[in-house]
Amino acid sequence: MTTATTVKTEYEAIIGLETHCQLSTNTKIFSNSSTEFGADPNTNIDPICMGLPGVLPVLNEKVLEYAVKAGLALNCQIAKYSKFDRKQYFYPDLPKNYQISQYDLPIAEHGWLEIELVDAEGNPIRKRIGITRLHMEEDAGKLVHAGSDRLSGSSYSLVDYNRAGIPLVEIVSEPDLRSGLEAAEYAEELRRIVRYLGVSDGNMEQGSLRCDVNISVRPVGRKEFGTKVEIKNMNSFSAIQRAIDYEIERQIAAIEAGDRIIQETRLWQEGAQCTSSMRVKEGSSDYRYFPEPDLAPIEVSNEQLEQWRSELPELPAQKRHHYESELGLSAYDARVLTEDRSIAEYFETAIASGANPKAAANWITQDIAAHLNKQKLTITQIALTPTNLADIITRIETGKISNAQAKQKLPDLLSGISPEKAFAGQELITDPSVLEPIVDEVIAANSKELEKYRNGNTNLKGFFVGQVLKKTGKRADPKLTNELVEKKLNA
């Protein structure tokens, strides 16, 4: 959960995000070419995505399913009737010279998602961000600029059409965001949702999730929006936040200096930490949309819609609320556990197997998470099952083993050794009649330390407890050991 900051200003920012999300289908949106990432340039291509004469696109049904599920998860109204359109523009990475997208009849509209922040006092803030629309479209190819030129920086460009025809959904938010912090949190929550659904991997470094920001500023209290500027070329959530914060300051400074803000597209320059002008922003009329003649309209039946709705998992926000209100977890623990669906499922299986929720949360978010980070693993790649984690927690809570013993054996447990084998012969000594003679023996063997203790150096109690634990191979119950040692020392 991110801490919200409040800056007193006579201006406010109006921010909306356009997010392109690549769908995790095996083949492209209108053809059977592979969507594999990292393939050699121009190997995942075919006549359809190359726009050759005489070919006809066919909609990948999985794309429609994933788009509808994403729309449902974002609380959108799913259109019973929608269509594709041709969006005209000419660029070397778009071989057809038009993009098949959706314009006036998208697949989903009028939704929302919830973001969570905390204020300066640590109190949670929840805010709904409206979703204007979600529509399907195809991606363009990729230009690679190379060579060296004194003026332009590169002397020639190469084009890779592997991405041409990759299936996307574009998710357009309402202008409900007011800061870079809120925008970054919105984008993160959107990625959590599509990952939970399994419709996208959301990897920004591979271009699977790309956000364009629309931002304007206006004096506080004015209803009319200021002139909108779009920012592109952000490859991380922190970059989104920094780019927006910079652009807010730039626009306010321009207004106060009497300069005119123009509607344009700007690029975020990561190295210089600033935005720079790229081109004057086009309007929808510049794209000359018209209905795609080669694709039939889309009709989603009630039966199909309810089938896809029934397949939706519990989403991150729902899980966070459930973990906090019903399981008594902190907002921090709930957020960490729900960041990834596989971690949430691991946690839920552990508590279904009898683990105390708070204890399970501590093990997963601390000791197990440290191991995953160090070894660069996911929780699905470790051999410690959630059922065995529940067994370990139960052994600790029933006094059979100590927390220290469990942590000491954790590397073995993570490698797949069962709790029965790991703790064989290691159960704690909890019988006072067995432990008391050992305490007597330790005290008798350390008469000098006993004398110092009784002369006022009470810190030596820890020394005697440590000696008992050492003598029993750390099998002595720590609580009982402390009680017996204190009783004997003060006799």
| Mean of pLDDT values over 62-66 | 98
**H-run or E-run covering 213:** strand 209-219
Q: How sure is the predictor about 6, in pLDDT bands with cuts at 50, 70 and 90?
A: very low
What is the pTM assigned to this prediction?
A: 0.86
Q: Say yes or no to pLDDT of 3 above 60.
A: no
Percent of the chain with pLDDT over 70: 96
Give the tens place of pLDDT for each residue, 223-268: 999 999 999 878 899 999 999 999 999 999 999 999 999 999 999 9
Write down the pLDDT at residue 344. 97
| Mean of pLDDT values over 33-41 | 95
Q: How sure is the predictor about 327, in pLDDT bands with cuts at 50, 70 and 90?
A: very high
Q: Say yes or no to pLDDT of 282 above 80.
A: no
Q: Say yes or no to pLDDT of 4 above 60.
A: no
Give the tens place of pLDDT for each residue, 297-312: 999 999 999 999 999 9
C-alpha 77/C-alpha 2 separation (Å) is: 30
Write down the pLDDT at residue 307. 97
| Mean of pLDDT values over 380-407 | 93
| Mean of pLDDT values over 354-372 | 96
Phi and psi, residue 86, nearest 5°: -95, 125
Most confident by average pLDDT, 143-147, 199-203, 399-403 = 199-203
Q: Say yes or no to pLDDT of 285 above 80.
A: no
Write down the pLDDT at residue 2. 56
Q: Say yes or no to pLDDT of 118 above 60.
A: yes
Q: Say yes or no to pLDDT of 442 above 80.
A: yes
Q: Say yes or no to pLDDT of 193 above 90.
A: yes
Q: Say yes or no to pLDDT of 151 above 80.
A: no
Distances (CA, A) of 321 to 1, 32, 190: 13, 41, 17
User: 403 burial class (0-12, 13-18, 19+ CB within 10 angstroms)?
Assistant: middle
**Contact by Cβ (8 Å): 197, 31:** no
Q: 183: how many CB neighbours lie within 10 A of its CB? A: 28
Write down the residue that tokens 């922040």 correspond to: 117
Find the range with the poorest average confidence among 71-80, 116-125, 417-426. 116-125
Write down the pLDDT at residue 461. 87
Q: Which residues, at least 6 apart from 24, have a Cβ–Cβ distance to it below 8 Å?
A: 66, 198, 199, 200, 201
Token duo for residue 435? 């432990």
Q: Say yes or no to pLDDT of 380 above 60.
A: yes
Mean pLDDT, the chain, as a whole number?
A: 92
| Mean of pLDDT values over 346-366 | 97
Write down the pLDDT at residue 281. 63
Q: Domains in the chain, please, with CATH?
A: 2-304 (no CATH), 314-422 (no CATH), 432-489 (1.10.10.410)
Write down the pLDDT at residue 235. 84
Q: Say yes or no to pLDDT of 177 above 80.
A: yes
Write down the pLDDT at residue 1. 57
- Cα angle value 481/487/489 (rounded, 5°): 95
Write down the pLDDT at residue 7. 41
38: left (phi over 0), alpha (psi -120 to 50) or beta: left
Buried b (16+ CB within 10 A) or exposed e, 131-141: bbbbbbbbbbb
Give the tens place of pLDDT for each residue, 89-108: 888 899 999 999 999 999 99
Write down the pLDDT at residue 274. 93
Find the range with the poorest average confidence among 14-28, 423-437, 445-459. 423-437
For residue 307, give the 3-state DSSP assignment. Answer: helix
**Contact by Cβ (8 Å): 114, 325:** no
Q: How sure is the predictor about 315, in pLDDT bands with cuts at 50, 70 and 90?
A: very high
Write down the pLDDT at residue 476. 84
Percent of the chain with pLDDT over 90: 72
- What is the SS3 string spanning 284-347? HHHHCCEECCCCCCEECCHHHHHHHHHCCCCCHHHHHHHHHHCCCCCHHHHHHHHCCHHHHHHH
**Measuring CA to CA, which residue among 381, 313, 370 is closest to residue 336?**
370
**Measuring CA to CA, which residue among 473, 356, 362, 367 is closest to residue 426?**
473
Write down the pLDDT at residue 427. 80
**Contact by Cβ (8 Å): 168, 24:** no
Angle at which helix 432-444 crosses helix 461-471, to 10 degrees, equals 120
C-alpha 241/C-alpha 239 separation (Å) is: 5
Write down the pLDDT at residue 152. 63
Q: Say yes or no to pLDDT of 283 above 80.
A: no
| Mean of pLDDT values over 58-62 | 98
